[in-house]
Structure 1
Amino acid sequence: MEEKITESLKREGDINISEYRKIWQKKNISKETQKILDDDSSYFIHQSLSTPCLNVVKSVNGIYIEDTDGRKYMDFHGNSLHQLGYNNEDIVESVKRQMEKLSFSPRRYTNEAAVKLAEKLCTSMGEKEYKTLFTTSGAASMSIALKLARKYTGNYKTISLWDSFHGATLDTISIGGESVFRKNAGPLMPGTEHIMPYNSYRCMFGSCGQCQLKCLDYLEYIIEREGDICAVIMETVRSTDVQIPPVEYYKRLREICSRYNAVMILDEIPTALGRTGKMFAFQNYGIEPDILVIGKGLGGGLIPMSAVIADKKMDICQDSALGHFTHEKNPLGSAAALALIEKIENDGILNYVRKMGRFFLERLTELYNKYEKIGDIRVIGLMGAVELVKNRDTKEKAGELAEKIMYRCLDKGLSFKVSQGNVLTLMPPLIITKEELSHAVILLDEAFSEELSGDDIR
């Protein structure tokens, strides 16, 4: 068991082969639900983090998911696409209207919904002029970003971070740093340099203030030494375990990229569209990227939709096909995305998220002060992380404890993700009420109290 837990520490999410999962399923899954799970296991290729699955979802609405046995869970996971909750009426109605008008736009043609969305995204970025392309997945958009950076610079080498995640395709796992995706994948894309991830809690020098961003010294050393780096790729805020660099980190990174003519590509697939209290996460840092990649929630939780947004000066590929996807200008996805963004703007969602983020931090700080097994908490907007350790001094990860807490919370009706083996990652919908958010923290508190008092999880 301990070997499996140790292996899980390297993983992007909670593992689906642990003994604790079997215990939870034995206690909570009915024969009818188990039959569906067995059929799922029979027909889908098994893979880490996915099939075999935990449970069967029957319906989703607002901040809740409901399983086939009638249990409802507050969804603090949602694969980071449920910004305005599930089945948001305005988004659903917008898609219905678009479906009746134009459901598909063949390539070579454009459509009004796609053009309006492109304008909205490009003009929301900042002072620079931007242009965009749409795809149906974040990984596909990241692939376009990489090709565009190569074309623009004439170089192919990249710098990205260990522990990062940019998608599960061969090119995106090459720049990504998650071992569970790279393992046994064979030769990966050449020229993908990696440096240490930003992690203030585990910085070998203590903190950013003490080390003066030596990690960026190393990045600059690689760029200067290699001389032919085409792009630096970062998750603006690391979503899986919520790593939040300080402003000075991105100020200096922007300066380095500009000085060495390296394209700054920011990955905000899970973190854009209000999650951090800004429309885009980079807007917390007073910089502008050369390329931004967004996705997940862009389709309003209804339609697979992603976008790559690039500085207008990089529009140099008239003689090349960067994407050429069948659903490139999907009118249904565009209608959903427009409805999402307009609702975020018109309903004051950004201010609301910043306000709720301060409350979220206060409540999680109370847990930190109460339980020594919580080594760190991190919050930006409505992204929260609770990092569990065996000892705060050594910072040794408490992976087994994280799994136990997760399954105790599932028993209580709270669903979230475990990242890096020991981080409880909390991503509620942006429409969550103060009362609902407070109740979720109470459930976490109860789970810690029960587990640390020695109550048998069985």
Structure 2
Amino acid sequence: MTHMTELEREGDINSSRQRVSWLEGLDDRSQALLQADEAVFVRQSLSTPCLNGIANAEGCYIWDLNHKRYLDFHGNSAHQVGYKNPDVLAAVKRQLEELPFIPRRYTADIAVKAARALINKTTSKDFKVLFTPSGSAAVGIALKAARKITGKHKVISMWESFHGAGLDTISVGGEYVFRKDMGPLLPGCIHAIPYNAYRNLFDSSCPEAVAKFCLDYIEYIIQNEGDIGAILLEPIRATDTHIPPQAYFQRLRQICDQNGILLIFDEIPTALGRSGAFFVHQHFAVEPDILVLGKGLGGGVIPQAAVLLKSKYDLAQDISLGHYTHEKPALGCAAICAAIDYIDNHQLVEQCRRHAAFVTECAGRLYDTYEWIGDCRIAGLLISFELVKDRTTKEKYNDLAEKILYNCLKQGLSFKLTGGNCITWHPPLIVTTEQLAFAFHVLEEAIKHNRP
């Protein structure tokens, strides 16, 4: 498997000519802040130098140091209920005053309430919960649980996937920018080529053929490798919104059951309603054995993640799977409860589905008008526009994508690039039709401005 080029990675890069030009255009105060940031924080790809400084974030917007407002369709996929959500802030403030910390070996009503709230959102309501301080840690716990439950240490995951930046999670992840120069990784990690890698080999009107091809290959790995304990994947790939058909997951579930393999779904950036269902896998009428959550789980306020494990697999009482200082996180649990209540009380999942219809209509018009849009992939408010030089060859148009990004930023719309040529939008669930219309207007003007 050849690694991705410099522009084909998890997010937009910060060492390109376009980024340098953007940074040079910032005012002295903003540039001074970025320099101060680089002086005290460890530099890393995708993060250093930062894009800009911000002074405020509220609702669907962020403001820079000069009070310029940006409609934020990035949000690190953590702002489902918007920035500074008043209900989440109020819940966290109450918890701070009542009980800010629960020492390990003890519990409290708020922890039980948060776990139960998540369980009640599942289809079967037959899960148990372990909270973790980060999504990467949650994936690590899922891998440990799979080893303990099955007695098998090998795991199949996908190339190009992202599951966190820890040494264990980059072992199962497939992004070169995270694995580069790391030397030996976790043993037993086997990578399959994901659904999206094959789609150009088949008639696009027949995704079931792609699904069959991919799953035949996974079965081949299982039959010839042996000792597979788990299959880990994102049911909808967050970074560029690839959506396998329901048949893919139906058969994948069957393959796991027939071979004693646990199915682990990483829904860290995609759950909590943004796909048009509370959990992504609910679109496909299957349940995983282990579900991993994070990002928006903390209401855009508290770093919070969780592992949901089928009740019958609660079999690790003789070992410590996590043993975290914040194993029952009081503030995180308050944020979880408030975020779920807010989503329910404001019917944001239903609203997301209505917005998806509007987005699909707008995206279709762009696709019909501009030949450089090779594909539009939409699941709820998980949205990607793939830019190509030619729709037949599917050659990526990375340079155009970058130009569009910075043109949109100048006009007050923030989002991310992925894979070099995919414009990816993850709007908050609280977004309005007017804000979506504004985003499409800005995107179309950027396309017109930068057309070849």
Q: TM-score range by the shorter chain?
A: over 0.9
For 1:222, give the aligned amino acid. I
- Residue by residue, what CA displacement relative to the aligned partner does 1:296-315 show, whole Å, maximum 9, x if unpaired? 00000000000000001111
Q: Which letter maps to 1:220?
A: E
Shift of 1:211: 4.4
Give the unaligned 5+ runs of structure 2: none
SS of 2:155's equivalent? strand
The 1:209–1:317 alpha-carbon spacing in structure 2 relative to 1, beyond 3 Å, is closer
The separation in 2 between residues aligned to 1:212 and 1:403, in whole angstroms, is 31
The residue that corresponds to 1:318 in the other structure is: 317
The letter for the 1-side match of 2:448 is: S
* Structure 1 residue 227: Cα displacement: 2.3
Query: Which residue of structure 1 lines up, in the alignment, with residue 30 of structure 2?
Result: 33
Verify: 1:67 aligned to 2:81, yes or no: no
Q: 1:10 aligns with which of 4, 8, 11?
A: 8
Is the Cα–Cα contact under 8 Å of residues 144 and 308 in structure 1 kept in the other structure? yes
1:200–1:206 Cα contact (<8 Å) kept: no
Provide the rounded CA distance (Å) in 1 between the counterparts of 2:164 and 2:394.
Answer: 29
Structural mapping, 1:29-108, within 5 Å: 29-108=26-105
Q: Partners in 2 of 1:203 and 1:319 — Cα distance?
A: 48
| 1:32 counterpart letter in structure 2 | R
Letter matched to residue 346 of structure 1:
N
Which secondary structure state, in structure 2, belongs to the residue aligned with residue 9 of structure 1?
coil
2:168 equivalent to 1:162: no
Partner residue in 2 for 1:19: 17
Q: Normalising by structure 1, report the TM-score.
A: 0.96
Instruction: Please give the root-mean-square deviation of Cα atoms over the aligned residues, in Å.
Output: 1.2
Equivalent-residue separation in structure 2 for 1:179 and 1:206 (angstroms): 29
Counterpart in 2 of 1:130? 127
How far the C-alpha of 1:451 sits from its partner, in A, is: 0.5
> What code does the residue aligned with 1:353 have?
C
Residues 273/169 of structure 1: CA separation in 2 closer, same or farther (3 Å cut): same
Determine whether 1:173 maps to 2:166: no
* Conserved? CA contact 2:119–2:125, under 8 Å: no
Which amino acid in the other structure matches residue 120 of structure 1?
Answer: A
SS in 1 for 2:307: strand
Structure 1 position 432, deviation (Å): 0.6
Which residue type is aligned with residue 12 of structure 2?
Answer: D
Question: What's the CA shift string for 1:240-288, capped at 9, x where partnerless?
Answer: 0111111111111111111101000000000010011111000001011
Q: Does 1:273 align with 2:275?
A: no
Deviations 1:146-198 (A, max 9, x none): 00000000000010110100000000000011111111111011111111111
Matched AA of 1:46: R
Aligned to 2:388, what secondary structure does the other structure show? strand
- The one-letter code matched in structure 2 to 1:23 is S
**Whole-angstrom CA distance in 1 between matches of 2:197 and 2:162:** 18
For 1:365 and 1:200, how far apart are their aligned partners in 2? 23
Q: Distance in 1 between matches of 2:237 and 2:220?
A: 23
Counterpart-to-counterpart distance in 1, 2:219 and 2:269: 27
Q: Which runs of 5+ in 1 are unaligned?
A: 1-5
Give the aligned length. Answer: 447
**Which structure 2 residues correspond to residues 309-388 of structure 1 after superposition, within 5 A?**
309-388=308-387
- The one-letter amino acid of 2:101's match is F
8 Å CA contact 1:8, 1:14 repeated in 2: no
The equivalent of 1:193 in structure 2 is 190
Aligned to 1:240: 239
* Alignment-mate amino acid for residue 257 of structure 1: C
1:10 touches 1:179 (CA, 8 Å); kept in 2? no
Q: Give CA deviations for 1:44-65 in whole Å, capped at 9, x if unaligned.
A: 1111100111100110000000
CA contact (8 A) 1:385 1:423 kept: yes
Percent identity among equivalent residues? 52
Partner of 2:303: 304
C-alpha contact 1:237 1:271 (8 A) present in aligned 2? yes
Q: Is the 8 A contact 1:10 1:180 kept in 2?
A: no
User: How far, CA to CA, are the matches of 2:276 and 2:377 in structure 1?
Assistant: 15
Contact 1:250–1:285 (8 Å) recurs in 2: yes
Decide whether the 8 Å contact of 1:128 with 1:311 is kept in 2: no
Distance 2:199 2:218 in 1: 18
Aligned position for 1:3 = none
Q: Where do residues 289-300 of structure 1 align in structure 2 (5 Å cutoff)?
A: 289-300=288-299
* C-alpha deviation, 1:210, in angstroms: 3.9
Q: Distance in 2 between matches of 1:112 and 1:211?
A: 47
Q: Take 1:128 and 1:36, find their aligned partners in 2: how far apart are those partners?
A: 48
- Normalised by the length of structure 2, the TM-score is 0.97
Superposition deviation, residue 32 in structure 1: 1.1
